[in-house]
Homo-oligomer: A and B are copies of this chain.
Amino acid sequence: MPYDPSAFPPFAVTVDLVVLTVRRHSLCALAVRRGESPFQGRWALPGGFVRADEDLAQAAARELAEETGLSVHDPAAPAQDNGAHLEQLATYGDPGRDPRMRVVSVAHLALAPDLPAPRAGGDASNARWAPVEELLRQDDYGRDGEPVAPLAFDHARILSDGVERARSKIEYSSLATAFCPPEFTVGELRRVYEAVWGVALDPRNFHRKVTGTPGFLVPTGGTTTRQGGRPAQLFRAGGATLLNPPMLRPEV
């Protein structure tokens, strides 16, 4: 028995992406410039319609690949490919959040290692990594003097929620390693925490904590001096996903 389509209002469903990475000691998000109305010319989060035969997670992974070329890290195959972490964030469906029609957007959060350069359909000027505090600042100007209008739609809210999720989740999970290349040093991992939280951490206590948590880090045997100073051991992310006890975020 077919269902009566007049019994419910039709919605458009999209996925929007909060793609975070750490560049030059600051937490950055991927923003794309809108080519069409509404909010034409303004920066927005990448996203698009969910297709008829597509899962929500599939749609998010497809959009992520289209915008960045990143593949999604398979949770079943831990920590070897160069893929990103992807998880559902929240869903935004206020009537009027899109002036054209009723749109429900399922936002996703992606965490990626530092990437060479963004690409949005091949046009680099229409996509960029921007520090999140710059994207969330109201009525201000970016580094190049270009006015940084608030993000289109309710994307400032979505970005803010995504950043908050990332900040809290690296406390009790090993997710911070998703910001690192496959092999990394303790200091590089610490700088990830410092950039995401916006605080300074004691290198000695941090080193003790992460190397003392079983399953968090696995030494690869190699060393590197790419950060300068004394050579540092290289590690891979271990199998542990939950940190117990958690990493403590300093007060305020």
Contacts and interface: CB of A to CB of B under 8 A. Distances in A.
A55 B13 CA distance: 15
B10 A49 contact: no
A25 B215 CA distance: 36
A77 interface: no
Give the number of copies in the complex.
Answer: 2
A136 interface: no
A117 interface: no
A54 interface: yes
Interface stretch (A1-9, A183-191, A203-211): A1-9
Interface stretch (A87-95, A122-130, A229-237): A87-95
A2 B7 CA distance: 24
Interface stretch (A27-35, A64-72, A99-107, A137-145): A99-107
Contact of A55 (B5, B94, B101): B94
Nearest to A105: B91
B52 A95 contact: yes
A146 interface: no
B93 A1 contact: no
Contacts of A55: 93-95
Top 5 A-B residue pairs of the complex, sorted by shortest distance between their CB atoms: A9-B52, A10-B10, A3-B100, A8-B49, A56-B93
16 contacts: A3-B100, A5-B101, A8-B13, A8-B49, A9-B50, A9-B51, A10-B10, A11-B11, A11-B104, A13-B93, A54-B95, A55-B93, A56-B91, A56-B104, A88-B91, A104-B104
